[in-house]
Copies of this chain bind each other. A is one copy, B any other.
């Protein structure tokens, strides 16, 4: 941090002098993506500190033997991720710390994953049922049409945390209960070629009914965190609709919102 180190550059290259990017043109992974990954790693490991300028795009492209658009594509992907900021006339710099790991869809993935060490998930129900009105509307199927009903109880440290009730279009997926408990719904969907793309969520709070209290080991009237979600794949087709109930005393959503420029 004391010296510039590279005196031949005369100070115009702020922080990127010693960085060696290894680009493999033989690799099937795109050049812009290779660059983006290595830039991200450099930021992640603190080689590029918050506020550091990246050096202008033209220099970078010459140094790396890439065209400027390719370098721009790499940088843009990191700007989209919120790791870099571009300012016309100024340059590109690493964002001012904070907000390290986005998490973003963590709540969704957590809910659907069920894997991992800590939490366990027990499948309570897994059967084909006629679709109630709200489910039919959400999944875009006929009311009374076949849908899969999945009811799970999520526990951590041997304590119940959440009651997850999900509906999926019938025939979308083979849902083996045993695999569900060990693998998680999300990975099973992914393995079946379904790519989650977006989800619409409503999160609220209400008091527990007597039955809910019993199942969640809470007192009647305890505060519950409720979540209703419809998830869509990359074609916009609804693939999952769920109603979840979490114990307010033991669970909270934690996520990040990004403003799309």
Contacts and interface: CB of A to CB of B under 8 A. Distances in A.
A130 interface: no
25 contacts: A69-B69, A80-B260, A82-B236, A95-B235, A95-B236, A96-B235, A98-B232, A98-B236, A98-B237, A98-B238, A104-B257, A104-B259, A105-B259, A197-B259, A200-B254, A201-B257, A202-B254, A203-B252, A203-B255, A204-B251, A205-B224, A206-B249, A207-B221, A223-B223, A223-B224
Given A98-B236, A99-B200, A201-B253, 5 more contacts: A98-B232, A107-B257, A202-B252, A203-B203, A204-B252
A131 interface: no
Contacts of A199: 256-257
A97 interface: yes
A141 B147 CA distance: 53
A140 interface: yes
Interface of A: 50, 69, 80-82, 85, 95-99, 104-105, 107-108, 140, 195-207, 221-226, 230, 232, 234-238, 246, 248-249, 251-260
Give this chain's copy count: 2
A114 to B, nearest CB: 18
A235 B50 CA distance: 9
A221 B224 contact: no
Given A202-B253, A203-B203, A98 B140 contact: yes
Contacts of A236: 50, 82, 85, 95-99
Contact of A223 (B50, B104, B206, B254): B206
A152 to B, nearest CB: 20
Contact of A205 (B81, B225, B237): B225
Contact of A81 (B50, B204, B260): B260
A113 to B, nearest CB: 14
